[in-house]
Structure 1
Amino acid sequence: MTVILNSAAPKQHNEFPQNTQVAVDIVLDTAYQGIDEAAWKKLFAKARKANVTGFIADMFAGKRLNASENRPVLHSALRNLSKTSVEIDGQDVMPAITEVWRRIEALCNKWIGITDVIHIGIGGSDFGPRLAIEALAHVPSIDSRLMRMHFLANIDTAELARILARAQPHSTRVIIVSKSFTTLETTMNAKAVVNWLKENNCSKAQISRALFAVTTNVAAAKEFGVEENNIYPFWDWVGGRYSVWSAVGLPIALQYGFDTFMDFLAGAHAMDLHFKNTELENNLPVLMALTLLHQQEQHDIKSFAVIPYADALDWFPRWLQQLDMESNGKGVNRDGQPVKFSSPVVFGSSGSNAQHSYFQLLHQGPEVIPIDFIAVRKAMSELPEAQAHHRILLSNCLAQAQALAHGKEADKPNDCYPGSRPSNLLLLPELNAFYLGALLALYEHRTTVLGVLWNINSFDQPGVELGKVLAKPIEKALASHANNIEASTEIDAVTAARINFLNT
């Protein structure tokens, strides 16, 4: 039976296929998951045993669910447009968030004559805003305010050189995004951009006015040369990969206008309300998490693919890679015990390009790889050919799901498709700031539910630190130009040999 979850669901569609649920106008179709009624009951029982409902309530209440760092998990407060009180230890955080919205709107109104913005950040400080800028650029007739938005993340100077070759120094603004303001890649790239401004005869006062920062470390940003009025706050209860809803998302407002940024937040807020207030059986993030858990238990899956049949969402799989694998790629659970399941490897790219790349493996490889197909009902351009092209795009999406589900028998083994390859279909009515926000929030909450089901802390990332520590003595050895480096407690024999080769 069809379950419609949201009173705002599209009124022109009174009937939905079986196995579908709808929230914030987004349709989820699980028909090809191969999960019968009895299996669903068992999955919901597991969700109740894991206390998913209690975890959701505690998260929105500001409880310190990130136990390893003793922090609340309140990125949902950043898009709480209802402005209802959200407290941490008895203090309402909404006035501070509302003040950031006011400052972002004021900045949008006075930024005139800017040709280029260089957004410097890496990881969560880069993926979210970059995805949003790329996706919304495809919205027909959107106003880009005649600015070029550049994203600088990689320490490789090739990316830096490409940006500086295009930007106009005297009409460029620079946004430095680092929670701690100590991230090596970000600070080095920021220094390089400042040097470029100096080399192009920008005065000290001009450079100071050109620099903006989003950080928790105000003192470090001021020491770097950012004026205090140009520093936007960040809070330790927001993980980097959940930060696009904060001032980290400033490029969205600057590029497409403050109202577009608020629409983005509104879509996410609508999904928050659905996630918070809807029972498990009709809760989209919960249903999506349970489908993946089912495939892990049935097929011991190691990989998961997300294929958006929308070129505008080509960056979405890369954003999801960090969200899923940094959140849930853990070897031990909250109790310090080895886990049975954690995040599968996430990959994907836009359809139908993906069909001509790795779908051979998805159809005929020995490993079962679940897929989320994401499609958009409305074409993403106003070209005369748009409707005809979009029909072909949608037909490819539906055909691939059907082929994966049913397979094909043939006399020649090489022509056989085993079938029984599970997939979800997510259908957006259109792609704009509101539905993009809802889509991202949907996957954020799905990731959270998976962490609860696996008893994993989804909100820390200790595994990313070891490589950073080891890189310091290696960089020092490379800077020495010596080719007689010996193995030590910090550098093993293999790495020492590689350093010596590079220094030759």
Structure 2
Amino acid sequence: MQNPENIAASTHIAVDVVLDTAYQNISPAQWEKLFSVARKSKLEGFIADMFAGKHINLSEDRPALHSALRNLSKSPVMLDGKDVMPAVTEVWHRIEALCNKWVGITDVIHIGIGGSDFGPRLAIEALAHVPGIASRGMRMHFLANIDTAELARILDRAQPNSTRVIIVSKSFTTLETTMNAKAVVNWLKNSDCTHSQIAHSLYAVTANIPAAREFGIAEENIYPFWDWVGGRYSVWSAVGLPIALQYGFKNFEQFLAGAHAMDLHFKNAPLEQNLPVIMALALLHQQEAMGIKAYAAIPYADALDWFPKWLQQLDMESNGKSVDRDGKPVKHSSPVVFGSAGSNAQHSYFQLLHQGSDVVPIDFIAVRKPMSDRPEAVAHHRILLSNCLAQAQALAHGKKAENPNDVYPGNRPSNLILLPELNAFYLGALLALYENRAASLGALWNINSFDQPGVEYGKVLAKPIEKALLGDSHVEANDNIDAVTAARINLLNS
């Protein structure tokens, strides 16, 4: 699937992260054409505009400046003539001060959904696997689903008198988040916490400070972020507060530093050496050449089992569009994204990846160093890595056999992304690599990667349905409820 003389040219390194595209089956001539496509799409100008604070989110007339949240150099980042870095730096200082202030906390309930949940949850889960990492050992509970089963499980474990609650919502109007927050406040009241204790326990991270105040959050417990930060890009802001509280501000700073280093690479590297751009072009090629409709992200690290879930929102909410920035139908948009930790995934859906009728490209993500200090770690890790490499080879080359059941078609493309180790720095670099790849794909497809209008319609329709579920009378189809939904409501109400 790859000529030996092209293998060296397929290895790209930035921030000590290796990207190996040898199994993409893209010839040097095809790469030249892809880079030409990138230049015709004005990708270089788009990257410069994003970091310069231009209003690249056209539908909402705002920039996408999440990179400023991890700009540890504190070099000025201008938004409409004003440097945003002093406000960002102030939040860093407040986060660090809070880390030094919290004592005797047993439980933290982080309430948020979507972008307010996936990033911090992924980081907390991933860093928990880092051998020897300093941790306060607090129980970090992530409450996202409006299903009270999740709420009940958390409240059964938490100790109300030593619990802190972080309510995370950019708008502070998200239905699931506000309802869950009210339920947790009621739990504190019913646990005989005083009004003063409850006020002391509640924190908010939001762009809507007045709404947080109205909810009852004390001014000093409100941490802002801004409308130029998309929710799925917000873990670098105070949304990532649990990371600093659990693992210390220095680890949170390292998380930002890894992302910042990848940003500088993305901003400054030529397209031919630019990891996010190369990944974006490889996926575009597979769409054009093979008509792929899905791709898988398989981290061969149990610590990154939450990574594909985070990536699903990043890619499909950013680029799952049917019209481009000019309102015209798109030729390509985000494939379906799925994945889970290897080698578990091999015993699940790899049958389809090897012998299914559809070609599904894979990003194999591996870590050089074992993720534990157990005496078995080196031997286990060697087997883990051998499985990762073997799966990529088998997918690329396939196998011929007389029995059709034993035939592997091969020619299944994949990337290998190799981290030196998994710690806060390289976790930040990995997430920023994919964020910048999503932005690059948006530019190549002429899609606005920074709005998400498609998530709103279902929320609007839910309101009249909820009202109908409150009643006990027979529901007829109307302008808001179709005949099928009316029948379902009547079934539920019967």
Alignment of 1:137-152 (within 5 A): 137-152=128-143
Instruction: Pick the aligned partner of 1:486 from 460, 476, 486.
Output: 476
TM-score by length of 2: 0.98
- How far the C-alpha of 1:481 sits from its partner, in A, is 2.9
Instruction: Pick the aligned partner of 2:145 from 150, 154, 178.
Output: 154
Alignment of 1:130-141 (within 5 A): 130-141=121-132
Alignment of 1:320-339 (within 5 A): 320-339=311-330
Structure 2 residue 398 is matched with structure 1 residue 411: no
- How far the C-alpha of 1:217 sits from its partner, in A, is 1.2
Q: Which amino acid aligns with 1:96?
A: A
Alignment of 1:150-299 (within 5 A): 150-299=141-290
Instruction: Pick the aligned partner of 1:87 from 68, 72, 78.
Output: 78
Alignment of 1:397-436 (within 5 A): 397-436=388-427
User: For 1:338 and 1:72, how far apart are their aligned partners in 2?
Assistant: 24
User: For 1:235 and 1:400, how far apart are their aligned partners in 2?
Assistant: 43
User: For 2:321 and 2:8, how far apart are their aligned partners in 1?
Assistant: 37
Q: Match for residue 50 of structure 1? A: 41
Q: Match for residue 119 of structure 2? A: 128
SS in structure 1 at match of 2:64: coil
SS in structure 2 at match of 1:188: helix
- How far the C-alpha of 1:479 sits from its partner, in A, is 1.2
Alignment of 1:317-466 (within 5 A): 317-466=308-457
Q: Which amino acid aligns with 1:485?
A: V
Residues 425-460 of structure 1 show CA distances to partners (whole Å, capped at 9, x for unaligned) of 000000000000000000000000000000000000
Q: Match for residue 314 of structure 1? A: 305
Q: Match for residue 97 of structure 1? A: 88
- How far the C-alpha of 1:18 sits from its partner, in A, is 4.3
Q: Which amino acid aligns with 2:488?
A: R
- How far the C-alpha of 1:17 sits from its partner, in A, is 4.4
User: For 1:490 and 1:202, how far apart are their aligned partners in 2?
Assistant: 43
SS in structure 2 at match of 1:245: coil
The count of corresponding residues between Structure 1 and Structure 2 is 488
Q: Match for residue 115 of structure 1? A: 106
SS in structure 1 at match of 2:375: coil
Instruction: Pick the aligned partner of 2:486 from 482, 489, 496.
Output: 496
Residues 28-65 of structure 1 show CA distances to partners (whole Å, capped at 9, x for unaligned) of 00000000000000000000000110000000000000
Unaligned runs of 5+ in 2: 1-6
SS in structure 1 at match of 2:193: coil
Q: Which amino acid aligns with 1:119?
A: H
User: For 1:249 and 1:316, how far apart are their aligned partners in 2?
Assistant: 15
Q: Which amino acid aligns with 1:92?
A: D
Q: Match for residue 3 of structure 2? A: none
TM-score by length of 1: 0.96
- How far the C-alpha of 1:223 sits from its partner, in A, is 1.2
User: For 1:51 and 1:128, how far apart are their aligned partners in 2?
Assistant: 30
User: For 1:89 and 1:218, how far apart are their aligned partners in 2?
Assistant: 22
- Runs of 4 or more above 6 Å deviation: none
Instruction: Pick the aligned partner of 2:14 from 5, 20, 23.
Output: 23
User: For 1:314 and 1:302, how far apart are their aligned partners in 2?
Assistant: 22
- How far the C-alpha of 1:82 sits from its partner, in A, is 0.2
Q: Which amino acid aligns with 2:14?
A: A
Q: Which amino acid aligns with 1:475?
A: E
Structure 2 residue 64 is matched with structure 1 residue 73: yes
User: For 1:32 and 1:435, how far apart are their aligned partners in 2?
Assistant: 24
SS in structure 2 at match of 1:244: coil
SS in structure 1 at match of 2:19: strand
User: For 1:26 and 1:480, how far apart are their aligned partners in 2?
Assistant: 57
- How far the C-alpha of 1:19 sits from its partner, in A, is 1.1
Residues 412-434 of structure 1 show CA distances to partners (whole Å, capped at 9, x for unaligned) of 00100000000000000000000
Q: Which amino acid aligns with 2:169?
A: S
SS in structure 1 at match of 2:436: helix
SS in structure 1 at match of 2:235: helix
Q: Which amino acid aligns with 1:99?
A: E
User: For 1:481 and 1:445, how far apart are their aligned partners in 2?
Assistant: 51
Q: Which amino acid aligns with 1:363?
A: H
- How far the C-alpha of 1:146 sits from its partner, in A, is 2.1
User: For 1:480 and 1:107, how far apart are their aligned partners in 2?
Assistant: 47
Greater mean alpha carbon deviation, residues 17-26 or residues 471-480: 17-26
User: For 1:478 and 1:374, how far apart are their aligned partners in 2?
Assistant: 46
